[in-house]
Amino acid sequence: MKNLLLPFLLITISCTCAFSQEVLKLQPCNDSLIHVQADSITKAVALEGFTLLKENSVTMESQYELPVIVPLQEKSLYHFVFIGDHNSSQVEVRLIDADGNMVIYEKRSRSESNFISFSYVPKVTLYHQFRILQVNKKKKKGLCGYVMLFKKTRV
């Protein structure tokens, strides 16, 4: 498995709870099924000419959106992958561009897949935000999620 980069998730996430405001600390997680799936996806995407730039596992809470902020270069082709817990009923990704506009929204149910994968070419060189979310009715905390960012490097 490539070097896991916690700086990939460079932000502090805060959420408003019913009675107080909490700061969620980003914690990596370890799920062998997700790691096997990530390795398989990495090999498949590499065959299409992409190079893995960054990857990271993260412990998530059900129904709480987690922002992942990354710098992207204009006119470069990127491929983003989010893998959710195998028991989650739904996974979602929103891509927010540098102007704050949602440019991509993907949602999958468990019957479809536990991962979302798409390519994107930014119009400007700036930070973009991927907002990942998963819904799990049985397990509310401690869900494992995995994010990967690839860049097209060869034709």
Output the tens digit of pLDDT for each of the chain's 155 residues: 444 433 343 333 333 333 335 555 678 898 999 999 999 999 999 999 999 999 999 999 999 999 999 999 999 999 999 999 999 999 999 999 989 999 999 999 988 899 999 999 999 999 999 999 999 999 999 999 999 999 999 87
Beta strands in the chain (DSSP E): 13-16, 21-24, 50-61, 66-72, 78-83, 90-96, 102-109, 115-120, 126-135, 141-152
Asked if the structure places residue 140 within a domain, the reply is yes
pLDDT of residue 4: 41
Asked if residue 141 belongs to a domain, the reply is yes
| Domain assignment present for 1 | no
Q: Is residue 129 part of a domain?
A: yes
* Rounded Cα distance, 109 and 90, in Å: 4
Is residue 83 situated within a structural domain?
Answer: yes
Pairwise CA distance, residues 60 & 44, whole Å: 26
Task: Please report whether residue 110 resides in a domain.
Answer: yes
Q: What is the CATH number of the domain that holds 111?
A: 2.60.120.380
Q: How many domains does the chain have?
A: 1
In a domain, 126, yes or no: yes
In a domain, 135, yes or no: yes
Domain of 136, in residue numbers: 6-152
Q: Find the largest Cα–Cα distance for the chain.
A: 53
What predicted TM-score, i.e. pTM, was given to this entire model? 0.82
